[in-house]
Amino acid sequence: MLLFYGRWGNELGGCGVFKLGPDTPVPIKGDPVIYPKSTNFDSHYHDCDEYWVIIEGAGTVVVGSRSFKVEVGDCVAIGMGHHHDLSEVQADVKGAYFETTLEGRQRFGHLWEHTHGPADVRPERV
């Protein structure tokens, strides 16, 4: 069982489970990328923060200009407006995602600059 706990508004972006294996990238899906890619997951952003918890498998995640390996038990925190992608899969990935309260223009779903315009990027806090 996985429980996301915190304080959020009524208008949440969404939550659920995703599964991803290696696949041929779909060039017209998502925003264009310059990094290696072996999945059909799309580079996108949201009008909210998002969290991923990796339940099974391993892969490479890209958030903004950073890429890093993820494996079972890792949590990926993605700030509002930051492009993100699961670009490569070393072992089929199953993960849970949680999108927090919608902010700014409050749009649901995967957003792309070529369709929805530039992202409102929340600055990272270090």
Residue 68: which residues within 8 A CB-CB, separation 6 or more?
60, 61
Beta strands in the chain (DSSP E): 12-20, 50-63, 66-71, 75-78, 84-101
Average pLDDT over residues 71-80: 96
Predicted pLDDT at 126? 60
Q: Any idea which residue has 């990027």 for tokens?
A: 121
Domains and CATH numbers, the chain: 13-104 (2.60.120.10)
At 24-74, the pLDDT tens digits run 777 778 999 999 999 999 999 999 999 999 999 999 999 999 999 999 999
Predicted pLDDT at 66? 94
- 8 A C-beta contact, residue 70 and residue 96: no
